[in-house]
């Protein structure tokens, strides 16, 4: 059955609820979780379809399924149940895996349809009022899945009908829908440079705009005069860098944002080849609208006695969406 993509609070749809706590460290990334519902009862083994949504660390995914199990007895005992699956993604994902999830599955008797008649020999149950609120079964587990991996977890085995319910879990990196109308994100970028013996300098203060799943970039070039070399040669530091910002996904009110800063600082002398120090740094964040993220890059010269020892780049990014 074709997978459903929905964030509505309705039976059979995977939904999101933002947690009221700051994002954990490390922040992790948005992951697409797919859950297929498998039922085994009088009708045989069948799939009730798959539900999926994008989840972020610090947000809880809730799958609400209403199912009626049919017994193999002569009366064809019917047992309406409700299963709630709560998923909590962990930001710390094992190496080689795509997602790490904590899962809780709670099964209750459905309120509608009255009290089902038990099959012969089945244990006596509580009153209808109690059974609609008290869990029939509660199970907890943890999963660590790679892209394309699947894992089947049994959620409920009925003593009344002999039926069983299981969920097949799968996860993959979240990706924006390319056929949808793109949402645009405004990105305020600041890059400041500081070095020993040199005045601090704002290299770039710029506002960029990018669609979800698309990158926005800016190139920065600057030069800094250096002391003469031991041989009296004139020197300067050539600074070239590129900042690439990619807003990837919005889920549970947070944006997954990748910030890459790469480039090279070269010591150029009037004689001899340049000495080139390269750098490439990528940070991934989960941010709320207007939330600032800051990181620093330390660049050191490729050789000795180049007239400078270390340059610190301070990168600030604020996303508005």
Phi and psi based region of residue 280 (left: phi greater than 0; alpha: psi -120 to 50; beta: remaining): beta
Q: What is the pLDDT of residues 231-267, one digit of tens each?
A: 899 999 999 999 999 999 888 889 999 999 999 999 9
Q: Mapped to the 3 state alphabet, what secondary structure does 124-156 carry?
A: CCCCHHHHCCCEEEEEEEEEEECCCCEEEEEEE
Residue 181 scores a pLDDT above 80 = no
Q: What is the pLDDT of residues 19-28, one digit of tens each?
A: 444 443 557 8
Which residue ranges make up each domain of the chain? 4-173, 184-320
Write out the E strands in the chain. 4-5, 14-18, 31-41, 44-55, 59-70, 78-89, 99-109, 135-145, 150-157, 164-173, 184-195, 198-211, 216-226, 235-251, 254-269, 275-287, 292-299, 311-320
Dihedral of alpha carbons 188, 193, 199, 200, sign: positive
According to DSSP, residue 291 is labeled: -
pTM above 0.85, yes or no: no
Q: What is the pLDDT of residues 27-53, one digit of tens each?
A: 788 999 999 999 999 999 999 999 998
Residue 130 scores a pLDDT above 80 = no
């Amino acid at each position: 059955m074709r997978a459903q993509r929905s964030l509505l609070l309705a039976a059979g749809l995977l939904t999101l609820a933002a947690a009221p706590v700051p994002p954990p460290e490390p922040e992790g990334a948005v992951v697409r979780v797919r859950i297929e519902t498998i039922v085994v009862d009088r009708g045989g083994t069948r799939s009730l379809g798959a539900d999926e949504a994008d989840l972020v660390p610090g947000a809880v995914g809730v799958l609400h399924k209403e199912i009626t199990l049919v017994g193999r007895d002569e009366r064809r005992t019917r047992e309406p149940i409700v299963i709630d699956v709560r998923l909590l993604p962990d930001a710390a994902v094992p190496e080689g895996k795509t997602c790490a999830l904590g899962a809780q599955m709670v099964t209750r008797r459905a309120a509608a349809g009255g009290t089902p008649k038990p099959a012969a020999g089945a244990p006596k149950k509580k009153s209808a009022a109690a059974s609609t609120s008290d869990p029939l079964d509660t199970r907890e587990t943890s999963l660590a899945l790679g892209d394309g991996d699947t894992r089947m977890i049994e959620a409920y085995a009925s003593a009344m009908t002999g039926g069983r319910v299981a969920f097949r879990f799968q996860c993959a990196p979240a990706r924006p829908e390319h056929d949808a109308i793109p949402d645009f994100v405004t990105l305020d970028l600041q890059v400041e440079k500081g070095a020993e013996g040199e005045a601090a300098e704002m290299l770039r203060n710029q506002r960029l705009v990018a669609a979800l799943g698309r990158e926005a970039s800016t190139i920065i070039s600057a030069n800094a005069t250096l002391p003469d070399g031991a041989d009296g040669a004139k020197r300067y530091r050539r600074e070239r860098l590129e900042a690439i910002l990619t807003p990837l996904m919005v889920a549970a009110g947070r944006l997954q944002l990748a910030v890459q800063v790469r480039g090279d600082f070269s010591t150029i002398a009037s004689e001899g080849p340049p000495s080139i120090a390269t750098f490439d740094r990528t940070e991934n964040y989960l941010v709320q609208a207007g939330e600032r993220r800051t990181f620093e890059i330390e660049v050191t010269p490729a050789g000795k006695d180049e007239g400078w020892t270390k340059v610190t780049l301070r990168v600030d990014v604020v996303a508005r969406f």
